[in-house]
Structure 1
Amino acid sequence: MQTLQQQLVSYAKYHRDRRNIATHFFGIPLIVFAVAWLLYIPIIQINTTIFTPALVTAVILSIYYLRLDFRLGALMSLLLALVYTGAKAVYLNWPLDHTWYYLGGVAVFFVGWVVQFVGHYYEGKKPAFVDDIMGLVTGPLFVVVEVLFLLGLCKSLEQTIIAQAGPYR
């Protein structure tokens, strides 16, 4: 398994244009939420816990992020819990037939990817996941780290990424 820095540097090489990064602040959260939405398929309920593929995915991703870096993993776990809670709320409060529920999730997923591809048009590079499927897992972490950089946090990590992936444009 690559280290946190290796994964972020590899992903950052596809994301140096500030406009592309800005589109990721919208596109990736939409995609992550849409995936949780689409995977919110109740399988079994034990006490008050409803087990869904979305829950299993969130737990697996949380464990992965925690193994990469405990503090960032804890933040990612919290964010995934919020996404899962949002998907659950949408599911439980959906006023229409569940066919429309899933079509809504597909629509959000589609919009998220359109935003992503607009950003990659600005970048002039293909998305990172085309060369490494792990880019789909690194993308949400990259967005969170970029927000932390904007807040003036994780300066050492930011400098490492810039030194290895190149400056922002």
Structure 2
Amino acid sequence: MLHETKMAGSFQRQLADYVEYHRDPWNCAMHVVGILLLFTGAVLPLTLLQIPMFGVEVSLAVILALPVLVYWLMLDAGIGLGILAAAVVLLSVATTIGNQVSTAMMWSIFALLIVLGVSAQVVGHKVFEERQPSMVDHPTHFLLGPMFVMAKLFIALGFRRDLAAILAPLPTNSLSTR
């Protein structure tokens, strides 16, 4: 139980740090789009590589996603389960795409998803947040983006009031000054 408390405390501290770079609602929206595109793009070519494990063919995408999924579950079980569910959907989408298109088309889709995903992140920070990405100052924040997005979704759905205060928007809406 002590381990869970330490992980939960660590997650809340990291989230509080991360949110300082993600206050603008449009930047947050760009992160939702960017993270979904980047995850799907990153796993797309890996879904084509099947490795036999315990008598079952498992894609390299699943094998490589497992450690980070376990990390997210350890940080916060509820949000981690939400991300796990989203990852299953995105891995299924990537697998379907990979199985339905030629290799050349798969690499084209991969490149497009990565370019669009990175572009969404850059536009979110440059245009809306007017601040450099948090990863520049804190490289570990690369893994917090999905947790942040899922936490925002949980709060919007009326869950996780314990995180609502951490993720609360600034008192003045930055869009009203534009």
Give the TM-score range, shorter chain.
0.7 to 0.9
Q: Does 1:85 align with 2:56?
A: no
Q: Which of the numbers 124, 142, 151 marks the counterpart of 1:136?
A: 142
8 Å CA contact retained: 2:44, 2:95? yes
Structure 2 counterpart of 1:51: 59
Structure-2 separation of matches of 1:141 and 1:35: 18
Shift of 1:60: 0.8
How many residues end up aligned between the 2 structures? 164
Structure 1 counterpart of 2:47: 40
Structure-1 separation of matches of 2:29 and 2:172: 12
Unaligned stretches of 5+ residues in structure 2 = 1-6, 174-178
TM-score under structure 1 normalisation? 0.86
CA RMSD of superposed structures (Å): 2.0
Structure-2 separation of matches of 1:89 and 1:36: 12
Structure 1 segments of 4 or more deviating over 3 A?
Answer: 45-48, 165-169
TM-score under structure 2 normalisation? 0.82
Structure-2 separation of matches of 1:40 and 1:93: 12
8 Å CA contact retained: 2:52, 2:58? yes
8 Å CA contact retained: 1:28, 1:139? yes
8 Å CA contact retained: 1:28, 1:112? yes
Do the aligned partners of residues 43 and 168 (structure 1) sit closer, same or farther apart at CA in structure 2, a change above 3 Å counting? farther
Do the aligned partners of residues 167 and 61 (structure 1) sit closer, same or farther apart at CA in structure 2, a change above 3 Å counting? farther
Structure 2 counterpart of 1:115: 120
Alpha-carbon displacement from aligned partner over 1:15-54 (angstroms, at most 9, x marks no partner): 01111112112111111111111332414234442331x1
Structure-1 separation of matches of 2:90 and 2:57: 16
1:1-169 alignment, distance < 5 Å: 3-46=10-53, 47-52=55-60, 54-94=61-101, 96=102, 98-121=103-126, 122-162=128-168, 167=171, 169=173
Structure-2 separation of matches of 1:31 and 1:167: 31
Aligned partner of residue 3 in structure 1, secondary structure: helix
Aligned-pair identity (%): 26
Aligned partner of residue 134 in structure 1, secondary structure: helix
